[in-house]
Amino acid sequence: MKEFKKNQNEPSPLSHTLAPKSAAILLAAGESSRMGQLKATLPWQGSPMLEHQIRSLFDGGVDEIIVVLGHQKDLLLPMLQQYKSVTPIYNQNYLSGKTTSIKCGLSKIKEMDTGCILLLNVDQPRSSTTIKTLLQHHQSSQALVTIPSFNGKGGHPIIFDITLLEELLHIEEASQGVKSVVNKNQSKLQKIPVSSEEVLWDLNTPDEYRCASDKSRAWSP
């Protein structure tokens, strides 16, 4: 895996240990229609993509993970039982769009003690290094929104301060969903430049999956 560019505002290693708890919402409710098979079960670095994402989030410093399920939920549930700090939740309205799954996950966030919310799709495989770096930058700053960028283009995951929870709970598909909250809080947004294009990966088709998988293997030691 390529390393991040050195940032002059690199957070202190102590900043993460002193930071409030963090929670992630991992979206795994979609039908995977363009991929032709369930993306959460596709192999990624030796394990199903869903399990890879969970391990990367925990290894990167996330304390709690909410996994939003929908299509073929009974196939995915057994993968989650081994993780103590993973909460599965079923979005019965998953066919109505991604926004419904985000709001479903956010409904559980309200019950948790957390300082920030990391939002990621199961088909956006990320390394624990990516997660850790973004979390540390977010938790050591005054930003309400943290976004990684590669060559000037914004990527994922996006991290939101917990103070934006109510705004996030009111997002709608018709008003661009999460993007509407990002746009409204531009003055409190930070973009973290990274040297790895993985922050742009959004694997919707077999060709996108094969290309990203080949690159990931090439970067591995």
| Residue range of the domain that includes 38 | 15-219
Per the structure, the count of domains in the chain is 1
Where residue 118 falls (left for φ over 0; alpha for ψ -120 to 50; beta otherwise) is beta
Tell me the per-residue pLDDT of 19-53, one tens digit each, with 9 for 90 and over: 679 999 999 999 999 999 999 999 999 999 999 99
Buried b (16+ CB within 10 A) or exposed e, 60-92: bbbbbbbbbbbbebeebeebbeeeeebbbbebe
Here the tokens at position 162 are 């917990």
Q: How many residues does the chain have?
A: 221
Is the residue at 137 inside a domain? yes
Is the residue at 67 inside a domain? yes
CATH number at residue 66: 3.90.550.10
Is the residue at 4 inside a domain? no
What backbone phi and psi angles, to 5 degrees, belong to 139? -75, -15
The CA distance from 37 to 20, in Å, is 38
**Confidence tier at 221 by pLDDT (50, 70, 90):** low
**97: buried, middle or exposed (CB in 10 Å: 19+, 13-18, 0-12)?**
middle
**What confidence score (pLDDT) does residue 4 get?**
27
Tell me the per-residue pLDDT of 164-202, one tens digit each, with 9 for 90 and over: 999 999 999 888 899 999 999 999 999 999 989 999 999
Output the pTM of the full model.
0.89
What is the rounded average pLDDT of the residues 153-173? 96
